[in-house]
Structure 1
Amino acid sequence: MPALSRRNAAVAALAALAITVQAPSQAWAGWTDQTDGKQAKGGKNGRTITVQTKVRTTVNGDAKSAATGNLSSADSNWTPPACWYEPAFSPKEIEKTVKAWRGFGDGVPLFEGVGEFVGDYLDSRYKEGKPYKNYNLDKQGRGMFWAAAVNPNRKDDPEASACDKQPFWVDEGETPDEPLAVTPRILAEYAYDELPVPETEIRMAPEGETKVNLPTWAWLDKAKFKPVSVTASIPGSGLSATTTAKPVALTIDPGTPDAETYPASGECPLDGDKIGRPRAKGTPADTEPPCGVRYLRSSGKGGAYQLKATLTWQIRWTSSDGDGGPLPEGVYGASQDVVVREVQAVNR
């Protein structure tokens, strides 16, 4: 294989270092071998070793089997983290990873010898004292190499490239001098991304179709729309955070300017443990509801308005180290058809 082609192949292989490494962790300050977190698909910059995150989430509240969605932040300037650094490799695992790379390309045209090239590159960092010597094997059990992990929900975000450092060493019990190192708050923000909120489908009276100029009552099933919590943790680390979402308001968009909402703002607040309420039997048809809509024009033959109901969730977090507080409110909405007919007059 010509030297130039080998070099080009080596450069391509180095660019391919944005890989998913499924690294079982050895004991480190109580860390255990558990690696069944979601798959992180690698860094954006094409040069950073990334790992499958070991963060686990546990959902309390609504069952995972229910129809659910994920919240969007009401604050357009804030999103959950796209990446972070977390404990990933023991010294023996770094050594094993480098050795595995040395076998890359064997017997494959154009890539023959590339594995050795990449192995030399990694050894220069982790074996030959630049900056680590002999993979830190003398520190086995007294620390870990931390590596970049990408939030699997945000792997395509440009911010996923922010974690562009190769794995770096952290002594047992030390806090990395790295803003994106995993903390309880980062776990809480990741849990925000994992909150499974129910589909925002409101109940209405009258049901099926409504009439022009007559109020339609709207409410939420309080048994379904209850607080939901997600706890994110790295098993064995003692680090965990719980993020809780509580529904606080329902916003109704009738789907047409030819309508009025109740209240006029279109925002129905939480009232005790419910939002809105069903229309009681015997209530006059023209009674204004605490939450609802009145259409001023029919939806036409065979037509329907797309009413959008958006629920606002108040978010707070607590953690294993006592920290906590609010996070930006989350919103989640869905549309549903509303058929509106003209009131049929009866001539006698």
Structure 2
Amino acid sequence: MTLRAVLVSCVVFATGAVSTVAHAGDKRPGASLGNAKGDRQGKTITVETSIQTMVNGDRGSGKAGKLSTANSNWTPPACWYEPAFSPKEIQKRIKTLRSVGNSIPFMGGLGDILGDFFDSYYKDGHPYKDYNLDKQGKGMFWTRVVNPNRKDDPKAMECNRSPFWVDDNETPKEPLAVNPRILAEYAYDELPIPGTRIEMAPKAETKVNLPTWVWLDKAKFKKVSVTASLPNTNLSATTTAEPVSLRIDPGTKDAETYPASGECAIGKDGRIGEPWARGKSEETPSCGVKYLRSSGDGSYNLKATVRWEISWTSTNTGREGLPDGEFGADQAVVVKEIQSVNR
């Protein structure tokens, strides 16, 4: 790295987030520069995402739990590029960095170095000329966005390009440029998955060799979707999660599950498991567990995990699959011996 690049990095890192005034009347993504900041390499500019989400068609998020992907080799994207700055905004950004850099006492004059560095890139034809002001209103500079759910992911550093120009209605060749697939994967992270607390009968405690019925609240565990869209573009995608099965891990080898696999599939009525009712004492539950040994003075840690099938659609692609997701929780189960009375 050259001395100039090192000094530029120091100034950008020292100044952190720099607020500027957005171009009046510009309502496109990234119009506000208040959250823009340079990274430690001093060449990229990071902004907060402009992606908006709707849960089941309504604004806002009812987020409860985060899905774990069933495919350990896949995670939602850690970063991508979005349209962020108009030519006038890039111009103001560089002027502000120059001013702030010159105002730091122990770095006197380095603001000019910083300004010259970026001016060379965006003003003097290397590769852009005069900040692309002649294209004002005809496109945007795209820049780096870090997934707010993946800030600590090392892959977030893969988006290290300086802001680059994209004409309106043009598809960037950059693989990490936001697209319907990335929106679908972002929506995956935003799915409001309910906590996996199962219903059991007997409820308070169960007995050795007594089948315990297990089921899920049908009204709570149902299909859910999140639509992610980028304002003022034609980009949007809807990701849908649908519960398909419940896996039971009794927390001990001294137990049997119903069915034997421990995987309770969703029924035709959309229910996983069947609630216990009077008169079913002699029946075998379709979903449940039977403990073969007492838990003594403690309890067994039963883990219930729901598998969610994931799919997505967008305006310009067909339905495509994403890795199934899982979300589970532990519950303490007390198991007692059946007391017999000797006469």
What's the TM-score, normalizing by structure 2? 0.90
The amino acid of 1:284's aligned partner reads S
The amino acid of 2:142's aligned partner reads W
1:344 to 309, 324, 339: 339
8 Å CA contact retained: 2:101, 2:110:
yes
Equivalent position SS for 1:323: strand
The amino acid of 1:91's aligned partner reads P
- Map of 2:202 onto structure 1: 206
Structure 2 residues without counterparts, runs of 5 or longer: none
| Distance in 2 between residues matched to 1:230 and 1:116, nearest whole Å | 46
- Map of 1:93 onto structure 2: 89
8 Å CA contact retained: 2:44, 2:162:
yes
Structure 1 residues without counterparts, runs of 5 or longer: none
1:324 to 301, 314, 319: 319
- Map of 2:242 onto structure 1: 246
1:281 to 269, 278, 286: 278
| Cα distance change, pair 98–13 in 1 and its aligned pair in 2 (3 A) | same
| Cα distance change, pair 143–103 in 1 and its aligned pair in 2 (3 A) | same
The amino acid of 2:11's aligned partner reads A
Q: What are the equivalent positions in structure 2 for 1:150-165 lying under 5 Å apart? A: 150-165=146-161
| Cα distance change, pair 67–209 in 1 and its aligned pair in 2 (3 A) | farther
8 Å CA contact retained: 1:42, 1:155:
no
Q: What are the equivalent positions in structure 2 for 1:1-348 lying under 5 Å apart? A: 10-14=8-12, 32=28, 47-60=43-56, 68-272=64-268, 273-284=270-281, 287-301=283-297, 303-348=298-343
Equivalent position SS for 1:189: helix
8 Å CA contact retained: 2:20, 2:92:
no
8 Å CA contact retained: 1:84, 1:181:
yes
Indicate the RMSD between aligned Cα atoms, in angstroms: 2.8
8 Å CA contact retained: 1:53, 1:149:
yes
| Distance in 1 between residues matched to 2:217 and 2:8, nearest whole Å | 60
| Cα distance change, pair 71–111 in 1 and its aligned pair in 2 (3 A) | same
Offset at residue 188 of structure 1 (A): 0.4
8 Å CA contact retained: 1:244, 1:317:
yes
8 Å CA contact retained: 1:18, 1:42:
yes
| Distance in 2 between residues matched to 1:254 and 1:166, nearest whole Å | 52
Equivalent position SS for 2:106: coil
| Cα distance change, pair 7–211 in 1 and its aligned pair in 2 (3 A) | closer
The amino acid of 2:280's aligned partner reads T
Offset at residue 148 of structure 1 (A): 1.1
The amino acid of 1:233's aligned partner reads S
8 Å CA contact retained: 1:163, 1:180:
yes
8 Å CA contact retained: 1:58, 1:230:
yes
| Distance in 2 between residues matched to 1:325 and 1:133, nearest whole Å | 41
| Distance in 1 between residues matched to 2:165 and 2:237, nearest whole Å | 24
Offset at residue 72 of structure 1 (A): 1.1
8 Å CA contact retained: 1:88, 1:144:
yes
8 Å CA contact retained: 1:18, 1:49:
no
C-alpha distance after superposition, 1:4-47 (max 9, x if no partner): x999654412456885888858889xx636779xx899767664
8 Å CA contact retained: 2:57, 2:227:
no
C-alpha distance after superposition, 1:131-154 (max 9, x if no partner): 000000000011110111111101
| Distance in 2 between residues matched to 1:66 and 1:347, nearest whole Å | 56
C-alpha distance after superposition, 1:90-119 (max 9, x if no partner): 000000100110122444332222222211
C-alpha distance after superposition, 1:220-266 (max 9, x if no partner): 00000011110000111121100000000000111111111111111
Offset at residue 269 of structure 1 (A): 0.4
What's the TM-score, normalizing by structure 1? 0.89
Q: Give identity over the alignment, percent.
A: 59
| Distance in 2 between residues matched to 1:13 and 1:104, nearest whole Å | 9
The amino acid of 2:200's aligned partner reads M
8 Å CA contact retained: 2:30, 2:84:
no
8 Å CA contact retained: 1:18, 1:47:
no
The amino acid of 1:280's aligned partner reads A
8 Å CA contact retained: 1:252, 1:309:
yes
8 Å CA contact retained: 2:207, 2:338:
yes
